[in-house]
Amino acid sequence: MSAVAQAAQTVTDRRGEPLLTVEDLHVRFPVRGPGRRQWLRAVQDVSFTIGRGETLGLVGESGSGKSTIGNALLRLVPVHGGSIRLGDTDVLTARGKTITDVRRRMAMVFQDPLAALDPRSTVADSVAEPLKIHRIKPTGGRRARVTELMDLVGLPQRFLDRYPHELSGGQRQRVCIARALAADPELLILDEATASLDVSVQSQIMNLLRQLQDEMGLSYLFISHDLASVEHMSDRVLVLYLGRIMERSPRESLYVSPGHPYTQALISAIPLEDPVVERERRRIILEGDIPSPIDPPSGCVFRTRCPLAIPECAEGLPPGHELGPDHTSYCIRAGEQVAGSSPAADAR
């Protein structure tokens, strides 16, 4: 049995065992204000786990804190509260060799592959970079390992000596995925990894990611504003708004019976294949803009745009309401349908 097959079998045997555990995560950034320093609250009280071999989808509008969470996992931004554990390792207290090992076990694939690749480096050099950083000397040498990685992502060897500007967007993203896999990580953070690609190429990349997950037993944090892509990729989903979790659910429950009005609005925007149903259904249009994370609303942060908001929404953080197995909506009116909208099951 090959090393890749052995790794995949090991993950299959341990599937469901927590790989990453995040509890009460807080991330904030200082902002200059008139006469005093203010804080931009990017992420507040976020908790989740990712199991081995599992994909957790993270969705929300721009500015909801999705990318900040991905960066916090790799300690690329300062964390002001909470805990992050990768297996038995405390990520936030890791130093020296330990933090280097954490960054070998987790890797990120960014939204813009052209910006993520050094324009002066060939494909072979870019893919080999993690091997050099982590001082990995694979059997047969680095060139052989790079060639193996190129095969994994479906790129022929003739691309090895090309530069990023000589590749298409989809080819560049495959190179970025190959580079992310170079050090044999356990978790990939996919930060809008398909957003900048054409629709047909998006599908190819997502299918590639699913194939790699099956073959290598990888875990994914799939960050996206596109709920259709998240539905295709994820086992469980977290819905974020202004740095807070609105709803958490298995994929099937979320798309069939969303409990939070914000989730209902997001799902109502997904185009449907049936043109008759698409023409007749009514989308939920949220009024207003996302409030400033420097001065978020009291109580539920979504209440200023919520069609179901009542005065009690301003009085405190909404408790979690259990709507089903592992399905929790943080809304005091959880499970109610926004007026004029159809249940997701009917629309889909």
Question: What digits encode the pLDDT tens for the residues 26-51?
Answer: 999 999 877 778 899 999 999 999 99
pLDDT of residue 25: 98
Q: Which residue has the higher pLDDT, 196 or 259?
A: 259
Q: In this predicted model, what pLDDT tens digit does every residue of 235-249 receive, in sequence order?
A: 999 999 999 999 999
Q: Is the pTM of this model over 0.95?
A: no
pLDDT of residue 204: 93
Compute the average pLDDT of residues 270-296. 81
List the domain boundaries for the chain.
3-234, 257-348
Share of the chain above pLDDT 70, in %: 92
Q: In this predicted model, what pLDDT tens digit does every residue of 216-234 receive, in sequence order?
A: 999 999 999 989 899 999 9
| pLDDT confidence bin for 339, thresholds 50/70/90 | low
Could you tell me which CATH number the domain at 3-234 has?
3.40.50.300
Closest among 238, 194, 272 to 54, alpha carbons compared: 238
Mean pLDDT, the chain, as a whole number? 90
